[in-house]
Amino acid sequence: MKLSSLLVIPAALLLFSAEGGAQDVASVYKQRCAMCHGADGSGNTAMGRSMKLKDLRAAEVQAMTDDQLYEVIAKGKGKMPGYEKSLGADTCRQLVAYVREMGKKK
């Protein structure tokens, strides 16, 4: 196998289950967040536009502290549900890191 064909996933973007397996945080984002926030975080979805969601890549969102982002993801805000109970605190922190990565790609 060629080295160039290997997919490199930053350790900060992997979730580890109790069984010891790794799950890509991108799949969690896709399952739980993309419906409203869009695959790219732009909020450019029917639901995102109707709720006037901010672009997760925007300077305003990226200027939030990790703790502030965590609070929104874990506890919810407005019509957005909190995910701490269903996903756990560690996964919510991984989603904060994922949002940070989105900000670097804009």
pLDDT 10s digits, 64-106: 999 999 999 999 999 999 999 999 999 999 999 999 999 998 7
Q: Which of 50, 24, 17, 18 is nearest to 35 (CA)?
A: 50
Task: List, for residues 1-16, the tens digit of each pLDDT value.
Answer: 444 433 444 544 454 4
What's the structural domain count of the chain?
1
Does any domain span residue 101? yes
Q: Is residue 3 part of a domain?
A: no
Please report whether residue 42 resides in a domain. yes
Question: Cα angle at 88 between 42 and 95, to 5 degrees?
Answer: 25
Instruction: Let me know if residue 13 belongs to a domain.
Output: no
Is 12 inside any structural domain?
no
Residue 95 lies in domain: 19-105
In a domain, 10, yes or no: no
Domain of 69, CATH number, reads: 1.10.760.10
